[in-house]
């Protein structure tokens, strides 16, 4: 079987390594997508373990289409009644580039009509879709007149961690946070600090990685409703994942923020995953925090960048951040921000990588 995984732009290399570590064959890596091959049993395993992706799609059909009739027949040729669960709402998403079929609403309506007709064998009644059930997404992708039909096995995007109940303004996406932690080469035996912890993202993701907690241990998936997936496999994989957690090891992880409400949100989210006792929380400013600790650790943080502070406050804050790194040359420090004026403060030896957090273009900075 052919599969492909979507991920945020720039995270493809880590996703590629994750798939290889799960012993699956990677066919191709492109911006925002990784393609690989395996049998159906990979669906629960990949959904359970990947930290940086969004959704896992299975390829159902692929063929050239030059007309809407071609599209209808291609979609209809899929044995939908054997694939889709009964009474679940069918959501058709689409993509078209450099192709004769460009009308997005028509692509969607033709595809949905074809699926329904296939499931009903052209019988003259409507397909019942119970709104209580989750949507089953079918993705129709047309590029250079070649149409590929995908089935979403995941449900909603996997950047939405199951334990997140509360968040503050402008949070970092969870899968982007996991990627950043993997990139900063944090040694688990050393302390990890986020002085602008916001609603939790870096410190909880760091602890999950260190303790080897599967990121999707307690959430639901579309594939659980597919009769052709071994229903016992996910339960078995979850039991094995629990056995792989490093419950006996302790880590030095520190979360601080000047906002008392942000600290309370962080504690609440950590409590949802039973990790609140393993993170050191403190309400204090950036300056206060670094006057208390010896800077022999990894710092990864998402400082404010215009949505919470005034311009003069931002400039002063980023001057302090820059000076911190200059005064502590052995500090393994990283920040991610869209505050572009930071470029004017740093030297040429800083490493930079542009990424996207939601719709914001951000830069990942590392002092070389």
Concatenated DSSP letters of 211-265: TT--TTTT---GGGG-TTS-HHHHHHHHHHHHHTS--S----EEEEES-HHHHHH
- In angstroms, rounded to a whole number, what is the distance separating the alpha carbons of residues 74 and 27? 24
For the beta sheet containing 360-367, the strands, ordered from the edge strand earlier in sequence to the opposite edge, are 280-283, 253-257, 192-194, 298-301, 332-337, 360-367, 350-357
In a domain, 139, yes or no: yes
Q: Are residues 124 and 202 in the same domain?
A: no
Q: Are residues 38 and 77 in the same domain?
A: yes
- Which pLDDT belongs to residue 166? 56
CATH of the domain at 264: 3.40.50.150
Which of 56-60, 203-207, 223-227, 292-296 has the least mean pLDDT?
292-296
In a domain, 238, yes or no: no
**Helix (H, G, I), strand (E, B), or coil: what is residue 87?**
coil
**93-114: average pLDDT:** 93
User: What is the pTM (predicted TM-score) of this model?
Assistant: 0.87
**215-223: average pLDDT:** 84
**222-229: average pLDDT:** 93
Q: Which residues pair with 16 in a beta bridge?
A: none
Q: Are residues 192 and 274 in the same domain?
A: yes
Q: Which of 48, 58, 49 is nearest to 219 (CA)?
A: 48
Q: Are residues 181 and 66 in the same domain?
A: no
CATH of the domain at 112: 3.30.2130.30
In a domain, 231, yes or no: no
Q: Are residues 101 and 196 in the same domain?
A: no
Phi, psi of 199 (to 5 degrees): -100, 0
Q: Are residues 63 and 194 in the same domain?
A: no
- Provide the H-helix boundaries in the chain: 12-21, 42-49, 68-76, 80-83, 104-120, 174-183, 201-210, 231-243, 260-272, 286-290, 311-327
Q: What's the angle, vertex CA 111, arms to CA 110 and CA 116, rounded to 5?
A: 100
Return the biggest CA–CA distance within the chain: 75
In a domain, 100, yes or no: yes
- Which pLDDT belongs to residue 159? 61
**Position 35 pLDDT exceeds 90:** yes
Q: Are residues 148 and 256 in the same domain?
A: no
In a domain, 234, yes or no: no
Which of 21-25, 34-38, 114-118 has the least mean pLDDT?
21-25
Cα separations (Å) of 95 from 142, 222, 265, 359?
A: 6, 21, 38, 19
**Position 290 pLDDT exceeds 90:** no
User: DSSP secondary-structure letter at 356?
Assistant: E
In a domain, 321, yes or no: yes
**279-292: average pLDDT:** 82
- Which pLDDT belongs to residue 158? 63
Q: Are residues 63 and 193 in the same domain?
A: no
- Count of the separate structural domains present in the chain: 2
- In angstroms, rounded to a whole number, what is the distance separating the alpha carbons of residues 181 and 190? 13
Q: What does pLDDT average to over the chain? A: 87
Domain that residue 264 falls in: 174-211+249-367
- In angstroms, rounded to a whole number, what is the distance separating the alpha carbons of residues 357 and 359? 6
**Position 168 pLDDT exceeds 60:** no
Taking the CA of residue 234 as centre, how many other CA atoms within 13 Å lie in the half-sphere pointing to its CB?
20
Q: Are residues 256 and 107 in the same domain?
A: no
In a domain, 166, yes or no: no
- Which pLDDT belongs to residue 108? 94
Q: Are residues 330 and 291 in the same domain?
A: yes
In a domain, 75, yes or no: yes
Q: Are residues 198 and 297 in the same domain?
A: yes
**Position 324 pLDDT exceeds 90:** no
Percentage of residues in the chain having pLDDT higher than 70: 92
- Which pLDDT belongs to residue 9? 84
Categorize the per-residue pLDDT at 128 as very low, low, confident or very high, splitting at 50, 70 and 90: confident
- Which pLDDT belongs to residue 135? 93
- Which pLDDT belongs to residue 125? 58
Q: Are residues 148 and 179 in the same domain?
A: no
Categorize the per-residue pLDDT at 162 as very low, low, confident or very high, splitting at 50, 70 and 90: low
Of 174 and 218, the one with more pLDDT = 174
């Amino acid at each position: 079987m052919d599969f492909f995984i979507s991920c945020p732009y720039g995270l493809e290399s880590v996703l590629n390594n994750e798939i290889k570590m799960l012993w699956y064959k990677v066919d191709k890596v492109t911006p925002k997508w990784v393609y690989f091959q395996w049998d159906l049993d990979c669906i629960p395993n990949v959904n359970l373990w990947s930290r940086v992706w969004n959704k896992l799609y299975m390829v159902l059909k692929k063929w050239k289409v030059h007309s809407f009739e071609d599209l209808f027949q291609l979609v209809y040729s899929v044995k939908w009644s054997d694939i889709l669960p009964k009474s679940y709402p069918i959501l058709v998403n689409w993509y078209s580039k450099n192709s004769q079929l460009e009308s997005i609403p028509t692509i969607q309506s033709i595809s949905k009509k074809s699926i329904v007709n296939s499931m009903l064998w052209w019988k003259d009644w409507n397909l019942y879709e119970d709104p209580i059930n989750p949507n089953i997404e079918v993705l129709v992708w047309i590029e250079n007149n070649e149409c590929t039909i995908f089935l979403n096995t995941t449900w909603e995007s996997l950047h939405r961690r199951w334990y997140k109940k509360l968040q503050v303004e402008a949070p970092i996406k969870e899968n982007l946070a996991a990627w950043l932690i993997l990139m900063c080469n944090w040694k688990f035996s050393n302390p990890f600090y986020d002085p602008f912890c916001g609603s939790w993202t870096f410190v909880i993701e760091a602890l999950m990685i260190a303790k080897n907690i599967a990121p999707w241990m307690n959430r639901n998936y579309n594939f659980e409703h597919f009769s052709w997936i071994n229903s016992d496999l996910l339960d078995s994989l979850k039991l094995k994942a629990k056995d792989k957690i490093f419950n006996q090891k302790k880590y030095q992880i520190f979360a601080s923020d000047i906002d008392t409400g942000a600290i309370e949100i962080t504690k609440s989210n950590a409590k949802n995953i039973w990790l609140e006792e393993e993170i050191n929380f403190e309400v204090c400013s950036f300056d206060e925090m670094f006057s208390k600790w010896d800077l022999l650790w990894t710092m990864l943080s998402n400082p404010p960048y215009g949505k919470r502070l005034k311009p003069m406050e931002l400039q002063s804050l980023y001057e302090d951040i820059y000076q911190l790194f200059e005064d502590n040359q052995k500090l393994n420090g990283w920040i991610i921000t869209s505050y572009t004026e930071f470029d004017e403060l740093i030297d040429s030896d800083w490493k930079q990588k542009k990424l996207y957090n939601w719709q914001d273009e951000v830069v990942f900075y590392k002092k070389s």
